[in-house]
Structure 1
C-alpha cells in the first residue's frame, strides 16, 4: 500500500496573524502521515522594503525581484518567517527542518526569461529532488520550505510558493500518494467573492473551464488553480483549497479539485 504525503501551502494572511498561525500549526502538527509545509511571506517582505526606503515593484500581480528585493526576500522568507515556523513546530513536537530549494539541492529552477516584463531574480521550477526529500521524510523530519529556489550556479531565486507546493507534490507522487492543500483565510473557491459561504465544493477539469469562461474564477485565483490542475495532471491525487477546516475530518466546507 502506497504511503500518504500531505503537502500544505499556507497563505500570507495566516502568516501575518499570530493567533491564526498558531492555530494552523497546531492543526498541521496533528496531520497524520508524512507531511511538508510550504510558505511565502510577501507581506512581511514588502513591510521591510518600505522600512528600508525601497518601493516594492509589481507587474501583472507578480513581484519584480531586483537585487535589493531578493536580499530582503532571503532575510524574510528564509530567516524570520521560516525559523519562526520551525521553532513553533518544534514546540509542538514536530521535528521540522527549515529549507530553501538550495538546501540539499532539493528544488532546482532557472531565472524566468525576459519577455514583456523583466521579473528579475524570479525563478521557475525545473525539478524536485525526490530522493533527498524521501530520505528526510523517512528519517522522521518534516521539511518546511520557504519561497526560494536556486539555479545550481550559486544564484538564489524568488519563487512562487503555490508553484513550489505543486511541484513538490508532483515530484513525490511516484513514491507517495500525495494530497496538496492550499490553506488560506477563505473557505474555498467562491461563486461570489462577496459571499464567503458560496463555496464551490468540487471542481473538475470541465467545470474549471466553465468557471473561468464565466469569470467566476479570475484574478489571483487563476494562477492558484492553474498550479492545482498542473499538479493533478502530473501525479497528485487530490487538491483541497480552504481555511483551517481543511484539517477537520468531519468538515466538508472546502473546495476539492480532481481531474
Structure 2
C-alpha cells in the first residue's frame, strides 16, 4: 500500500509554498519521498524558513527556487520565467507535478473596490495559473509525462462570500478551468484535480474581521479551524498513484463546512 502513496523519483513545481497551505502541501510531498520540490518565492527569509521546515520533514529531498513576483505588471514574462527556470533547475529535466497554489485576496464592497486591486486578484489567482498550466501541461504532453496538476480552489468556488467578489470570480473560474482541462487531458495521461480549503489559519484569513471570525467556528462540524498540516495527506493522495482513477474532482478539505 505504501507504494501507492510514494512520490519517489518525481519533481514538483509549486507556487506559493513558503507559507500557509502551500507549505503544508510541500510538507506532504516531502513526507512521500519526492525527489525534488521547486518553489516560487518573493523574498529570501520566508524561503529559508520554509526549506528549513521541509528538511526537518525529509532531509533527503532536493530543493530549487524561483524568485518571482506574481503581481508584477508583465504576467507573460512572469509565466515564461517560471516555466524556463523550473525545467532548467529540475533534477530530472522534467516536471511531473504542478501545483497552482499561490493566491491573494482583497475585501471590499464592489462599489468601493479599487480597480487596480480587483485586477491584481484576477491576475494572480486566475490568469497566471491558467497560463502557467498551459505552458507546463503542453510540455508534459510533448514529453508524454504522466503528469498531475492540482489547483488550490476554495469554498468560494461554490459560494459567493461577502465583500470578496474578485476572489470568488477567480476561485469559481479555477474550478471550472480544472474540470474542462481534465476532460481534455485525462485521456492523454495528465490528471487534473483541485483542493478546496475551508477556513484555515493562514495569513490570508488574518484579514477577516473579528465579528466574521466569530461566526465561522460554530458552523464547522469538525469543531475547529483547519491548519496547514491538514493538507499533507490530500496533496499526496492527488499526486500519487493512490488516486490514479481520480480526475476532474475538487477535494474539499473544510472540516465539513460544505456539508452543513
| TM tier relative to shorter chain | 0.3 to 0.5
With the length of structure 2 as denominator, give the TM-score of the two structures: 0.38
Structure 1 length-normalised TM: 0.38
Query: Which is strand-richer, 1 or 2?
Result: 1
Structure that is richer in helix per residue: 2
